[in-house]
Chain A
């Protein structure tokens, strides 16, 4: 009984201690700019800014590229302090805990890819009240919880790049093409397909004829079978566009093992690691995706420009992002990275994600 009483007393003492230290400061952080000096480097960005990248999860090659090969480079250019932190599993609650940590550390810029557009809002706003600037990249939050969103690509940009790639691959004679999409009701896929149809209506693509759109449901097996089915159904097919990483990899696997290899062209949105072997064996000439390293690089510069007071996130404001040049803030405090990045035999080995 005595030891238990001591234990209880210890709990009570601890609780009192906590309460006592809690009452001296009501939630304010007071260390908003974490000692960032106003010594300007190129473009008026303050030096010594603490910039932290918070990806959906660590140990993910995509985010390793965007953060450590993009964001880090940018932060070193403007002489800030770079860090990457985050949960090992992609859950919003784990991310909240890291946002809290960053705001306590007096981080100037938090660059985050949201695991849930609402669940991390409270924590982000608390960090902003403490003086941090919040930039989302890859996956946005509610616009009210961040200062800027760096969008990897627009619908039009993706559609233009896909049609250009298939046109180049098929050649000047044109011919029949088909689309292998994900699910029939995927919002982004349908927007891209609609934009591709608009693009195909242009005179320079008059020789390309879209004959079919099929759905592989982002399932590897189904996408593989749908690719097979397309070639059986359309003997004159010259090219396939698959604007989904699962679909394009499955179609490439089918084509590379079939007699159509090199005769039926394929392009789409894919990741270099999945597509490398098919680019090398001649199944695919080129495919597209945004360059995650550029995405992280731009996000770091945007955050630094915010934290240096060069921009506030209003539409029409301009800032310079190092080697990427000048960017203008669009509607809903969004900055678009640019046209998708084209991967081909010449550059695909430089990427690992």
Chain B
């Protein structure tokens, strides 16, 4: 357990150091990266991915995955557009209804995974297609774009005196909440226990099914929130909104050091990875790296993120074998 703690910490540090390096080298080498506008654009891009990555981290730590998140986002956008066409013009009401829809969609995933005991990979590949299909049924190829300007520019309004949009504050607050739940509560310890060994966790009194169910509901709600932001940020509710974003989210979670097999990882690394991926992509784009090369960079990083922790772990084990730990009896949980 101690090794695991060390390992986790070190991967978080690697991600954050990489982020700082990309920012510093980018600012020195690429014109525009040092400008406040660059960080405004990066933060606008980061918001929806970060919102979904928060619950996704918890889901993956329990050994499950939710690939339907971008389709939940898209269906929420369609729903928001259709509600507007039906004459719902109150923003708070739209937000509440969209969040409820997200929770229902997440609950459907949760029911299939927990009640029927199906693998979440299969279930959410199914709902990925199903929810996106429903989004098209609801809105077709129309785009609803006549929201009031006060909503659309309000969503991306900068914090007073800065260029960073105020919505980042909401993301930060939610990140703290998810971070506290994961790293400082019995619920969080339960999540790691489920990911390490669900059977053992059940015997230890963790309510595995209930926990997983509510994680999927939370993921649905956060994806819906991302959908609401997406609609307002692009001033356009479309059925294809956020198509393919599930990969961006999963890439960030894995690059952040969360093990795809569950039981390992934390939010600090994931948040660092979300920022790292976006900063890197935007900086390279500014340096005129073509789109095709950019996808190669992202793909390589993703592979590195899966291989990296293992290599670090092996190196650490090898080093440890040569120099045994001074306190081999010390056992600690990864908090």
Contact = CB atoms under 8 A, between A and B. Distances in A.
Interface string B7-20: 01110110011011
Given A4-B12, A27-B158, A93-B242, A105 B235 contact: no
A91 B235 contact: no
B13 A3 contact: yes
15 contacts: A1-B5, A3-B9, A4-B266, A7-B269, A10-B20, A11-B272, A21-B39, A22-B39, A22-B163, A58-B292, A85-B291, A88-B295, A98-B285, A100-B41, A103-B37
Given A10-B13, A22-B163, A116-B143, A88 B36 contact: no
Contact of B286 (A2, A7, A104): A104
Interface of B: 5-6, 8-10, 12-13, 16-17, 19-20, 23, 31-32, 34-41, 45, 143, 145, 152-153, 156, 158, 161-164, 230, 233-236, 238, 240-244, 266, 268-269, 271-272, 275, 282, 285-286, 288, 290-292, 295, 335
Contact of B6 (A3, A27, A59, A89): A3
Interface string A4-27: 101110110010011101111111
Contacts of B291: 58, 85-88
Interface string A215-245: 0000000000000000000000000000000
B144 to A, nearest CB: 9
A119 interface: yes
A12 B19 CA distance: 13
A117 interface: yes
Interface string A21-43: 11111110100000000000000
Interface string A48-87: 0000000000110000000000000000000000010111
Given A104-B41, A122-B156, 15 more contacts: A1-B335, A4-B9, A7-B12, A8-B268, A21-B35, A24-B36, A27-B40, A88-B292, A89-B243, A89-B244, A93-B234, A96-B234, A97-B45, A104-B37, A119-B234
Interface in A286-344: none
Given A118-B143, A122-B156, A104 B236 contact: no
A101 interface: yes
Given A14-B19, A122-B152, A122-B234, A27 B37 contact: yes
B117 to A, nearest CB: 35
Nearest to A86: B291
Contacts of A119: 143, 145, 234-236, 238
Contacts of A83: 288
A143 interface: no
Contacts of B158: 26-27
Nearest to A99: B41
Given A22-B39, A97-B282, A117 B143 contact: yes
B292 A21 contact: no
B330 to A, nearest CB: 13
A145 B175 CA distance: 35
A214 interface: no
Contacts of B266: 4
Nearest to A103: B37
Contacts, number: 143
A22 B20 contact: no
Chain B residues touching A, majority SS: helix
A25 to B, nearest CB: 5
A157 interface: no
Nearest to B145: A118
Contacts of A10: 13, 16-17, 20
Interface of A: 1-4, 6-8, 10-11, 14, 17-19, 21-27, 29, 58-59, 83, 85-89, 91-93, 96-98, 100-101, 103-105, 116-122
Nearest to A26: B163
A11 B16 contact: yes
A129 to B, nearest CB: 11
Nearest to A59: B292
A7 B235 contact: no
State the 8 A-B residue pairs at the shortest beta-carbon distance, nearest first. A3-B9, A118-B145, A119-B236, A119-B234, A22-B36, A7-B12, A88-B291, A104-B32
Contacts of B269: 7
Interface centre among A4, A8, A29, A85 (most CB of B within 10 A): A4
Contacts of B242: 93
Contacts of A1: 5, 335
Contact of A19 (B162, B243, B288): B162
Given A3-B9, A11-B268, A88-B291, A101 B282 contact: yes
Contact of B9 (A2, A19, A87): A2
Contacts of A8: 268
A6 B45 CA distance: 26
A93 B233 CA distance: 10
B235 A118 contact: yes
B9 A21 contact: no
Given A3-B9, A11-B16, A105 B145 contact: no
B23 A14 contact: yes
B39 A18 contact: yes
B234 A92 contact: yes
A104 B37 CA distance: 8
Contacts of B39: 18, 21-22
Contacts of A116: 143, 234, 236, 238
Specify which of B36, B38, B233 lies most central, judged by the most chain A CB atoms within 10 Å of its CB.
B36
Interface-central residue, A1, A2, A14, A22, by most chain B CB under 10 Å: A22
Contacts of A6: 9, 13
